[in-house]
Structure 1
Amino acid sequence: MGMFKRPGDLVGGGLLLLYTATICAVALVYPTANWDLIAYVATVLEGDGLLGHDMHAQTYAIIRNNVSDGEFLVLTADRAYRIAQHTDPDAFISMLGFYRVKLLYVEFAQFLTQATDPVTALRWVSAISAGLFGLMALSWLAGQRCLAVAPLAIIAMMATGFGDLARVATPDLFSSVFLVAGVLLYIQERGLSAGIAFVLAILARPDHLALVGVFAVMCVVIRPVSKGVILGFIAGLAASIAISRMSGHPGWWVQMWFTNVEYVPTLEGFDPAFSVLVYAKIVVQTVVRSLVEQQWPAVLLAELFVLALMLRRNFAFERRETVALASLFVAIPAKFIVFPYYDTRFFFAYLVAIAFILITVYGRQASPVFFSAPPPAPQEE
């Protein structure tokens, strides 16, 4: 009970634990069967030595045994692309370069297959990631003596799609554990640990290199410089290049085209020429989809507004918090420009890390009276 020093700490910390436990349970009991689940099952089987058409057949057999009839129909016959992947093993195998690059995510799932099947293993990765993320948030708030404002952290996690991420078989939440940990470790002046966490985030999802690169630059420009973060960026960049080459990733522009222009049935021989006009169209379409379909632009604007309000009211930010916030706010548009994504899940780690920092700065300096112990009653003379 050492971390629960005020009545509000017990309430806030208890609510955060309850919310985390609920999400973990939902992730296991009511998981979502997205198409990426099929591809990640295949990459796990490849790691076990199953290749070619046998791997394709085994992948779909495992999926069939772990999803409902309706889900299997959607995953295999919902559109022409999914039909082609189900019926053409060579076309399916050509897509796996997109998924092999998430090396740490696939390796962890493969490790869990020693005790269960690949689908269940991938779902356990999501549930474990959700649990670790919630415990990390609890530990961070406790260390900052801000457990009383933990309900604000819960709101931030809900607004950024934490629950949805826990239900899908993607590396987004898994990699976010490492990325957000790296940010918080840097603020705690643990640079080497932060650098290691950043490398692990890149190994789980290479596009997090965008934030780590911006972070390394901001450390130098704003200071204090962190050798751990800079070394983490260098190591992450080298690892990302090596993994991309070894995994057979088709390249930036092919993935950009495939994701935003056309789901071609196979990547064999597919090599569209780069076009500035096509790129500009992709950016415009992605901006529109983000504004119409997703919540991350609203969360980003809300965080910018809160930051401006806190600065106007003279909330004090420590130097490392300034570096972290500047890096996170710059990395979001930088990542969007390099590869326009519209889905909120691609920005979850950045947005929730910003929220955690703002919440702790508020919690340290505002001391909400509604979570504090009541003042003693006046004594009659």
Structure 2
Amino acid sequence: MSTVDETPIGRAFASRPGAGILKALLVRSALDRLAALFLVLSVLAVAAYGLLRPDYNWDMVAYVATALENRFEDPRELHAATWQLIDEGASEKQQYHLKFSNPYNLNQWEQPDDFQSQLSMYRVKAAYIGLMRLLEPVTGLIDASILLSVVPSFLVGMLCLYWLWRAEALQGAFFLVPLLLVADYSRMTAAVAPDMLLALVSMAALYAFWRGRDVVGCLCLFVSVFVRPDNLILIFALLIAAILFNGRKLPIAVTFVAAFAACMAISKFGGHPGWWAHFYFSCVEMQNSMAGFSPDFSVLLMIKGYVRGVVVALQANDWPAILAALTAAWALLAKFGRIGGRRANGLVFALAIGTLGKFASFPLPDDRFYFVFIAGMAVVLIASWRPRFDLVPANRGL
């Protein structure tokens, strides 16, 4: 008798009723349903938490202000209208954090002109701001900003479920859900930012590519740069993969050129300060005012920004470790012939180099900036692997 059989759980399953229950559970249809239910309940729990306990972060304030910006000429009026909306929904603790938790926040609370100068870095998320304004008559700007995280989060979960179902890999949900949670899925849902909306559009594009619907995938990718222009990196990574893995090059090449032109136009008309000024602000030193901010380029300061990004990413974030684990999983699946075909391999390759490229272009350490790449890589690998718990030999115990 094994040590497992000597435990209360082992003895229970060794009994006739327990063995019957175990046999019923270890059937593919039952395990598939359990995995699907696990994924659905997890997604609903995350969405419910994001809806009931939204994170009133600084980005939320800036995005609400950007959505209001087209109706106020005076920075003081914009400042007052923004904070009135924020104060109506935020708790006292959240209000204190947003206004007084650090010198930067305090300055933005006290100086309306400085506050408006920050919005040049938020206007470039044109589709996100446009959707906030579109929903405003029905929900108000605050609830619109919350729904634009919660609803895409739910739809991302449902897309993952559908993807695993089409791949006959539903039992992979037992692996996917914990991985998504570690990759910041729950926190991104509660935070008010365009990241979940970007994840939805990008995951739809990746699924389309996985299914061989390249034109649909390219259209989704083109739309994605209006949510976050830096998703151009994913498009470029997919273009490289198409070249190396002999995929369809013309659609993705045209998409990259069109997306690049769109990014340039968005940056120009949005008044974006430029890559170096934004890099300096985010990776070297935050600035109370971005009005006319144009620092001289410095290799030493750029290196400082990258060192900071690497250190914080390794110490306080999970995406580097997940990327390493997924890359190892890709190698193992390839070794045992479980991930065949240039399309799946090309997608995994693109997502792997895209993660590194995203960091190289702008070394922000937070998990949310890499969620699209990590989640996409995980689903493609699990869909190729198609794990089956019902195939585990019964004599190996529980």
TM-score by length of 1: 0.93
Q: Aligned runs of 1:154-303 on 2, under 5 Å?
A: 154-303=177-326
Mapped to 1, the partners of 2:392 and 2:122 lie a distance apart of 45
Aligned to 1:62: 85
The Cα of 1:371 is off from its aligned counterpart by: 8.9
Instruction: Find the counterpart in structure 1 of residue 146 from structure 2.
Output: 123
Amino acid at match of 1:46: E
Does 2:361 match 1:342?
no
Residue in structure 1 matching 2:389, options 335, 346, 368 = 368
Structure 2 counterpart of 1:153, which letter?
L
Corresponding residue number in structure 2 for 1:378: none
What letter matches 2:41 in structure 1? Answer: L
Write out per-residue CA displacement over residues 124-144 of structure 1, whole angstroms, 9 at most, x where no aligned residue.
111101111011111111111
Choose which of 355, 377, 393 in structure 2 pairs with 1:332.
355
1:239 is displaced (CA, Å) by 1.0
Q: How far is 1:370 from its partner? A: 5.8
Cα 1:316–1:270 change in 2 (3 A) is: closer
Contact 2:284 2:304 in 1 (8 A): no
Q: Which residues in structure 2 correspond to 1:25-44 (within 5 Å)?
A: 25-44=48-67
> Does the Cα contact within 8 Å between 1:192 and 1:227 map onto a contact in 2?
no
| 1:82-117 per-position Cα deviation (integer Å, ceiling 9, x unaligned) | 111112111111110110101111111211111122
Describe the shift of the 1:371–1:160 C-alpha distance in structure 2 as closer, same or farther (beyond 3 A). Answer: farther
Deviations 1:236-266 (A, max 9, x none): 1111110110011101001111011211110
Residue type at the aligned position of 1:172:
D
Tell me the residue number matched to 2:6.
Answer: none
> Residue in 2 aligned with 1:88?
111
Q: 1:313 aligns with which of 316, 336, 348?
A: 336
Structure 1 segments of 4 or more deviating over 6 A?
Answer: none
Point out the more displaced range, 17-26 or 304-313.
Answer: 304-313
CA contact (8 A) 2:225 2:259 kept: yes
Cα displacement string for residues 260-312 of structure 1 (whole angstroms, at most 9, x for unaligned residues)? 12111101232111111111111111101111111111111111121122222
Superposed, which structure 2 residues align to 1:8-47 within 5 Å? 8-47=31-70
Q: Is the 8 A contact 2:204 2:217 kept in 1?
A: yes
Report how far residue 231 of structure 1 moved.
Answer: 2.4
The residue type paired with residue 132 of structure 2 is A
Q: Which amino acid aligns with 1:369?
A: D
Question: Which deviates the most, 165-174 or 268-277?
Answer: 268-277
Alignment-derived partner of residue 100 in structure 2: 77
Provide the secondary structure at the position in 2 that maps to 1:314: coil
Report deviation, 1:229: 2.4
Aligned to 2:132: 109
Aligned mates of 1:66, 1:316 — CA distance in 2: 48
CA contact under 8 A between 1:195 and 1:230: conserved in structure 2? no
Instruction: Identify unmatched segments of 5+ residues in structure 2.
Output: 1-26
Given that residues 284 and 305 in structure 2 are in contact (C-alpha distance below 8 angstroms), is that contact kept between their aligned partners in structure 1? Answer: yes
C-alpha distance in structure 1 between counterparts of 2:174 and 2:296, whole Å: 49
SS of aligned partner of 2:56: coil
Q: How high is the TM-score relative to the length of structure 2?
A: 0.89
- State the distance in 1 between where 2:339 and 2:203 align: 22
RMSD between superposed Cα atoms in Å:
1.8
Question: What is the aligned partner in structure 1 of residue 4 from structure 2?
Answer: none
Moved more, 146-155 or 64-73: 146-155
Partner of 2:165: 142
Tell me, what secondary structure is at the counterpart of 1:316? Answer: coil
- Gaps of at least 5 residues in structure 1 are 375-381
Distance change (3 Å), C-alpha of 1:235 and 1:77: same
How many equivalent pairs are there? 367
Cα separation, 2, equivalents of 1:264 and 1:29: 33
Question: 1:8, 1:371 within 8 Å by CA — same for their partners in 2?
Answer: no
Alignment correspondent of 1:50 = 72
